[in-house]
Each structure stands twice: as structure tokens, then as C-alpha cells.
Homo-oligomer: A and B are copies of this chain.
Amino acid sequence: MSNTHYACDLAAVSEAAARIAGVVHHTPVITSETLDSRAGRHVFLKCENLQKVGAFKYRGATNAVKKLSNAEAARGVVTHSSGNHAQALALAARVRGIPAYIVMPRTAPSVKKAAVAGYGGLITECEPTLAAREEAAAALVARTGATLIPPFDHADVIAGQGTTALELLEDVPTLNAIITPVGGGGLLAGCCIASRGIKPTMRVFGGEPLGADDAARSKAKGEWLPQTAPNTIADGLLTSTGQLTWPIIRDQVERIFTVTDDQIRAAMRFVWERIKLIVEPSGAVGVAVVLSDEFKSLTNIGSVGIVLSGGNVSLDKLYW
């Protein structure tokens, strides 16, 4: 299947990179001999936990917000999210000087509401169901004329997330594989299009919690399956893949590896303790994958890049 059928192509990612340059951090790539030794190959950690708002989500949100016409932008943007996308969109909107209407379930942790408010987001609370969230967002769009920017299933968001892989390959051109976590699939799809667009032999893998393994099950069956009743510490990866992300994952991703919460917790502790970086559970999934026996058994992967996708955790508790 040709790339032209997808929501995103290499040109869109390159345009996104030019659009967001100077606003979004070019994050560092970190290496560790201890990690290389444990993984049995060279590992390059792309530190999106060091991105603004603490997550790669700022790339896609910034690309989408900057692409709006002045007339569209003036009416603002809307999303429903209690996670990193909400903060990312709030900041991207503030940078452009436009309102961001963020629908959050009334049960969302107060620290998350405070973070969104801290970036200037205008919060609308709703009941904690997907239907209530969608309804509240639609009502905001109808009332304000603002543009809905969903967290992953949007061409400009996918292109923005793909800039992560562009930078990674710019800094480490010798990579022959990339692992990213997969929730809705925006990061995985974008990185897939970007990295395989530049280097068609690139092997792209997803990492998914066993307790929210819709992408792995979908890949195994060859058709889209939804995530129901997710149960994992990796709270950024609870959602199903989307209509735009799934076809890219279906066709272009080699394999989705699942890891248990214990593996995620161990990887998270390893990154905190040995690499000295704060990653959230979702952000540690790629490290859990590269340390798994299943991944270690793969051959012909000398150098693998891993996206540490985010670092937003509460520091009021221990995770182990």
C-alpha cells in the first residue's frame, strides 16, 4: 500500500518540523553503557520527557495550532483530554495567543487540572464518560467556533509527532530500528512515516502494556480492534488506535511488543536510577521492550532508538 493513502507522509512531517522549529525543543539523545550491555545492542534514548510540557504531545499540538489560519485561530481550539495532550494544547494555544478550551472529567486529579490551568487552558468539567466528554467538546465547538484538535487521530498531530523521529535520525543516522509506545498511535504512526520515509529499511516497533493491548491484538488479527476496560500503570496508553493511525500501524509497523506492568515499573526505575531521567510509566515502555527476551531475540538490529515519550508523574509517591 502506498503512503499516499495515509493521513501523513514524509513531506508533511518535514513541513511540520520547519513549522515548529524554535518553539519545540530539539531534545537530547542519551546513551548508557549499562543499558547497552543489558539490551545487547546500542540503544539511543530520545528524551521527549525533556520536551516542553514534559511530553512529545507538544509537537503535534504546536503543529496543529500553528497551521490554523488567523481567522480559525482567533476562535480558539478545543480538546477533551485529562492527559499530556491537554497541557500541550493549552500551551500551544497560549504561545499563539488564542483560547484553548479543555474538557476534563470532573474526576481528573486536581494536579492535572492545575497543570492545564497553569498553561492558561480554560477548563470545562464533565462527567467521566467518553460520551459526556465528546458532547461537552461538541457543545464548545458549536458555541465558540473553535477548532477541535484531538489527541492523536488528526493529520497535523501525527505529522507533528513524527518530527521526533526526524530529529532522532538527524542525530543518530546509523539507527536501524525505532521503538515507541503506542496508545492512540499518533507517535508510533508519525515516527513510522518519518523514519521509513527517510530510510525505507528502518524497522519500527510499538510497545504496549499487556493491560491495554489493542494494537497488538489488532496487528495479530489484521483488523482494527478497540480497547475495552484497560488496566495498566501506563495511564497514557489506555486508548484504542484511531482511524488515521491504525492503517499506518497495520501496514508499516513490524510488530507490537506487549510488556507487563512489572516490566514497565522495572524499566521506569532503571531509567530513574541509572539514566537519571524522570519518565512516566508510559514513557518507560520502550525500555521495557528493549530489555525483554522477545526483543533481545531479534537479530540484525545493531542500533535501536527508543522514544522516552513523557515524564509527567506525581512525585508524592514511590512507584516501587
Which residues of A pack against B, CB within 8 Å?
Answer: 25, 28, 30-31, 33, 49-50, 52, 54, 269, 272-279, 311, 315-318, 320
Contact = CB atoms under 8 A, between A and B. Distances in A.
A186 to B, nearest CB: 21
**How many chain copies?**
2
Contacts of A274: 54
A273 B28 contact: no
B52 A33 contact: yes
A320 B311 contact: no
A30 B51 CA distance: 10
Given A28-B28, A30-B50, A276 B311 contact: yes
A272 B315 contact: yes
A317 B274 CA distance: 16
28 contacts: A25-B31, A28-B28, A28-B30, A30-B50, A33-B52, A49-B276, A50-B275, A50-B276, A50-B277, A54-B274, A54-B276, A269-B315, A272-B278, A272-B315, A273-B278, A273-B315, A276-B277, A276-B278, A276-B279, A276-B311, A277-B277, A277-B278, A278-B278, A315-B318, A315-B320, A316-B318, A317-B318, A318-B318
Nearest to A55: B276
A264 B31 CA distance: 28
Nearest to A275: B50
